[in-house]
């Protein structure tokens, strides 16, 4: 152990030297003093603590706690997690190509990726993984199972699978492959002349994928309007966001700039290439989970008046991260700057450098927001995130829907449906008769939930008990609860439309995988409907963008 401690202390000492080379001379004494205190403490702790310690674990916890005090995006990536980090930037990994989920004691296949080993080997959503390479998978976490399923392409893996409606488990052996999760999982015409492109994340070469998708639409028919869907897109590579904006704006236009503490990290990103299409009317859809690179694209498109933004205010993640190599193949991903879009607005919503006394971070108040102007002179505001030109209401999820999700009853019903139906139409919609069957399916299933009214009544009850009033009110209280329980029986029908939408997507994914899930959701998409309306109304489109 002492040898390990000496090696780590040597690494920290070398870090002091590197700090000097970066140029933090003003803080050198303070940094070196505290590093010396830390290394001394670390050595004493690992040498003399009463129980055996794990030096690596202690260091990891110390690092994580330190970085957490800065912002959520500055993180330490040990060598063991490098592959997961690379997947986030490239969308590629070696494995079987499937999403998995934990249920009770085992991990299940939740969705195989079309065209990859799991799907080609016949694995299906709902399959329980009993063994991997002859070793029991019981009580393993999804992370533990994922690490075993991933591996170098052309290496084999053997799974023992238990499948609903089959009497005995079966074994399947197949080779891992290089899996590339598509950045553009779906594109199609959704109305005459109006194309739709869904971008999942800003991974390497996603600009090329979008360009090919749009070109495919143009080859199919005349493209009169385009919808770019960035909802729930967490972002990714900065250069890809710049290149995507460049597809739609003239060469030389400013897309985004970054400003940080170190001068060399202050950069201006310009559209450097000839655009792909500056004329087609464009709508970008965003929501509260659209972040980072998604906000650069939607914000630049808005500031340059190149398209209409529809949806809800985006997440507000305008912090720039850069990775720095550490010893032993580890890396540090740290925040080095902030994003500013063409109007001069900063995307970042939260100021992590000014925390409240309790450590929390608050968003900027509306009254403190600063006005900026788009290219056409439209007024836009900072305060974090991109506020759409047309704001739509975020749908509320009912308690019964949350409960059905939590108990995996949507998932299980779709699994049973797949075994009862060999095929469905590509335009499948969950019907009224299907819904009646689903209600019967739930009749012997357990799913409990509390309404907000019930939660409020519990608080009233506690107050009444504290003030000695409850005994006189108990009968009325029980009657009210009984009435509420009776009314909850109608929730399946009051939320029928939402439940039908969820089941349509879940079942479609069983036959057509990710594309089926996305396509089915578009049938119920109110924001998409609004986007189509705007693109079909040239006068309204130009009015929103301030075109004369």
Catalytic residue positions, numbered: 292, 303, 317
493 in Cβ contact with 435 (< 8 Å): no
Residue among 293, 299, 345 nearest 321 (CA): 293
Structure tokens at 31: 């940094």
Residue among 155, 152, 175, 133 nearest 94 (CA): 152
Structure tokens at 405: 């999700």
CA distance 256 to 263: 16
Cα torsion angle, 355, 356, 360, 361, sign: negative
Residue among 109, 114, 145, 139 nearest 127 (CA): 109
CA distance 55 to 331: 18
CA distance 142 to 158: 17
State the DSSP string of 483-535. Answer: HHHHHHTTHHHHTHHHHHHHHHHHHHHHHHHHHHHHHHHHTT-HHHHHHHHHH
Q: Which residues contact 214 (CB under 8 A, 6 or more apart)?
A: 187, 195, 197, 223, 226, 247, 276, 277
Q: Mutual orientation of helices 55-68 and 2-22 as an angle, nearest 10°?
A: 30
Residue among 113, 166, 106, 93 nearest 137 (CA): 106
Angle at 172 between CA 167 and CA 174, to 5 degrees: 165
User: Three-state DSSP class for 203?
Assistant: coil
CA atoms within 13 A on the CB side of 225: 20
DSSP 73: T
CA distance 416 to 126: 9
137 in Cβ contact with 131 (< 8 Å): yes
Q: Which residues contact 471 (CB under 8 A, 6 or more apart)?
A: none
Label residues 174-198 b or e (16+ Cβ within 10 Å = b).
bebbebbbbbbbbbbebbeebbbbb
DSSP 376: T
- Helix, strand, coil fractions of the chain, as percent rounded to 5: 45, 20, 35
Distances (CA, A) of 541 to 194, 378, 535: 14, 14, 7
Residue among 268, 259, 233, 276 nearest 319 (CA): 259
259 in Cβ contact with 340 (< 8 Å): yes
């Amino acid at each position: 152990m002492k040898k390990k401690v000496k090696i780590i202390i040597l690494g920290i000492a070398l870090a002091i030297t590197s700090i000097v080379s970066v140029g933090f001379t003003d803080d050198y004494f303070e940094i070196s003093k505290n590093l010396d205190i830390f290394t001394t403490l670390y050595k004493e702790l690992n040498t003399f603590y009463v129980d055996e310690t794990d030096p690596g674990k202690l260091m990891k916890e110390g690092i994580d706690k330190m970085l957490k005090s800065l912002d959520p995006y500055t993180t330490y990536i040990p060598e063991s997690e490098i592959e997961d980090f690379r997947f986030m930037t490239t969308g590629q990994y070696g494995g079987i190509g499937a999403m998995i989920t934990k249920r009770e004691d085992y991990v299940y296949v939740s969705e195989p990726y079309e065209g990859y080993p799991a799907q080609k080997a016949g694995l299906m959503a709902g399959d329980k993984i009993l063994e991997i390479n002859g070793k029991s998978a019981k009580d393993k976490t999804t992370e533990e199972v994922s690490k075993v399923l991933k591996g170098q392409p052309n290496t084999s893996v053997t799974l023992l699978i238990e499948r609903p409606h089959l009497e005995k488990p079966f074994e399947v052996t197949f080779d891992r492959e290089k899996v590339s999760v598509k950045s553009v999982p779906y594109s199609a015409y959704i109305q005459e002349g109006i194309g739709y492109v869904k971008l999942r994340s800003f991974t390497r070469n996603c600009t090329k994928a979008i360009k090919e998708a749009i070109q495919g639409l143009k080859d199919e028919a005349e493209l009169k309007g385009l919808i770019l869907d960035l909802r729930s897109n967490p972002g990714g590579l900065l250069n890809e966001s710049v290149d995507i904006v460049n597809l739609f704006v003239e060469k030389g236009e400013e897309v985004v700039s970054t400003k940080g503490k170190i001068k060399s990290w202050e950069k201006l990103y310009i559209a450097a290439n000839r655009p792909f299409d500056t004329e087609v009317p464009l709508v970008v859809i965003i929501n509260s989970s659209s972040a980072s690179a998604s906000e650069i694209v939607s914000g630049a498109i808005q500031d340059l008046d190149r398209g209409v933004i529809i949806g809800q205010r985006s997440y507000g993640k305008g912090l720039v991260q850069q990775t720095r190599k550490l010893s032993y193949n580890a890396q540090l991903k740290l925040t080095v700057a902030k994003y500013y879009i063409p109007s001069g607005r900063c995307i970042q919503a939260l100021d992590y450098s000014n925390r409240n006394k309790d450590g929390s971070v608050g968003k900027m108040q509306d009254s403190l927001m600063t006005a900026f102007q788009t290219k056409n002179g439209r007024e836009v505001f900072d305060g974090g995130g991109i506020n759409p030109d047309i704001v739509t209401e975020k749908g509320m999820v009912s308690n019964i829907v949350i409960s059905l999700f939590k108990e995996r009853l949507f998932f299980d019903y779709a699994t049973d449906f797949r075994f009862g139906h060999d095929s469905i139409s590509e335009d499948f919609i969950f019907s009224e008769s299907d819904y009646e069957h689903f209600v019967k399916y739930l009749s012997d299933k357990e799913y409990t939930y509390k309404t907000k009214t019930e939660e409020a009544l519990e608080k009233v009850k506690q107050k009444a008990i504290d003030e000695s009033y409850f005994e006189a009110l108990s009968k009325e209280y029980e009657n009210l609860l009984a009435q509420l329980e009776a009314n909850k029986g109608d929730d399946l029908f009051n939320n029928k439309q939402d439940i039908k939408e969820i089941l349509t997507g879940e079942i479609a994914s069983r036959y057509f995988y990710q594309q089926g899930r996305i396509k089915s959701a578009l049938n119920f998409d109110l924001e998409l409907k609004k986007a189509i309306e705007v693109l079909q109304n040239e006068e309204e489109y130009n009015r929103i963008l301030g075109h004369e």
